[in-house]
Amino acid sequence: MFEDISRVVLLSDMDGTLLNSRKEITPADREAIERFTALGGRFTVATGRTIQSFDQFRSIIGLKYPIIMYNGAAIHDYISGETLYTHPLTLRAKEYTAELLELMPCAGGEVLKTEGTYVFSNTDYQQLHTRLCGIIPNYAELADIEDGGWLKVLFSLAPEDVEHMQLLVRKLNYEDVDFVKSSEIFLEMLPQGVSKGSALAEYRKLKGMEGCTFVSVGDFDNDIEMIVEADVGACPANAEDSVKSKADLVLSRTNDEGAVAELIDYIIERCKM
């Protein structure tokens, strides 16, 4: 599995994994990534972020390989400028979103498309998400957001309201969509069957990726499918228990302590470098 480091692809989640609690990459992780790539390893990320919101990190990490984005609804190549894969939501997603907003008017929300982010409910929690993303979104009424090409809908709420919405969507049992909790204050609507794991399955088909060994690392519920799909799935010490139960490797370090660096050391050691 680890015979050739140049055939190893490491996919890392961003928030809670590669980024520390200050939303920065630790020096230990940065040095380890540089060492891994200098030896020929392939490093990239799998994130819920959009093409626009991830741009601030692209030059910092110096990624050369396509990125899984929108929690698996797209794969984007910044080098060529091409979006290599998308799996958009059903057109009924607008109807579902409108119903949820009527039932829970406290929810903030946004629609994410390849060309931008469209905020339809600008609550305090939504404004927090906008600041975290570091982008200038488009503001629009939900009815005015053009149909088609919706990659996900993100709802931002107080933690107790996220739990309420989770119960609500289970009761409503919408067709063709799935819901995943991506943080304590975010619940996302994705196309049914779409996850970072399904995107990893598509990633294996990309030109030059055939026969590679895939290692993934993540900390939250939206990383579980990717951890299961990878040849080796890992999680930092700060990961949710639900993630730890699915990981092949539970690292001893947290995202504040250089968990990704620990995983890279594990890979390099097994490649006998």
- The CATH code for residues 93-191 is 3.30.1240.10
Q: Kindly report the pTM of this predicted structure.
A: 0.91
Provide the β-strand partners of residue 141: none
Instruction: Give 2's pLDDT tier (boundaries 50, 70, 90).
Output: confident
Q: What pLDDT is stored for residue 3 in this prediction?
A: 85
Q: Tell me how far apart the alpha carbons of residues 171 and 22 are, in angstroms, rounded to a whole number.
A: 37
Mean pLDDT of 48-61: 85
Instruction: Give 62's pLDDT tier (boundaries 50, 70, 90).
Output: confident
Instruction: Give 152's pLDDT tier (boundaries 50, 70, 90).
Output: very high
Q: What pLDDT is stored for residue 231 in this prediction?
A: 98
> CATH for 5-86+195-270, among 3.40.605.10, 3.40.50.2300, 3.40.50.1000, 3.40.50.720?
3.40.50.1000
235 within 8 A of 243, measured Cβ to Cβ: yes
Q: What percent of the chain has pLDDT over 70?
A: 100
What is the helix (H) or strand (E) element at residue 42, kind and residue range?
strand 42-45
Residue 108 pLDDT greater than 80, yes or no: yes
> How many other CB atoms are found less than 10 A from the CB of residue 204?
14
The DSSP secondary-structure symbol of 89 reads P
Residue 162 pLDDT greater than 70, yes or no: yes
Cβ within 8 Å of residue 17, ≥6 positions away: 217, 218, 219, 223, 235, 236, 255, 259, 260
Q: DSSP per residue over 116-136, as a string?
A: EEEEEE--HHHHHHHHHHT--
Cα end-to-end distance, the chain, whole Å: 14
User: Which tokens sit at 170?
Assistant: 């289970």
User: Which tokens sit at 240?
Assistant: 């949710």
Hey, where are the domains in the chain? 5-86+195-270, 93-191
| Residue with tokens 């519920």, as numbered in its chain | 221
Q: Are strands 116-121 and 138-139 parallel, antiparallel or unpaired?
A: parallel
Q: What percent of the chain has pLDDT over 90?
A: 91
Instruction: Give 273's pLDDT tier (boundaries 50, 70, 90).
Output: low
Residue-wise pLDDT tens digits, 221-240: 999 999 999 999 999 999 99
Cβ within 8 Å of residue 271, ≥6 positions away: 2, 3, 4, 5, 8, 39
36 within 8 A of 43, measured Cβ to Cβ: yes
108 within 8 A of 161, measured Cβ to Cβ: no
Mean pLDDT of 269-273: 85
Write down the H helix ranges in the chain.
Answer: 27-38, 51-61, 93-103, 124-133, 159-172, 196-203, 224-229, 241-244, 259-270
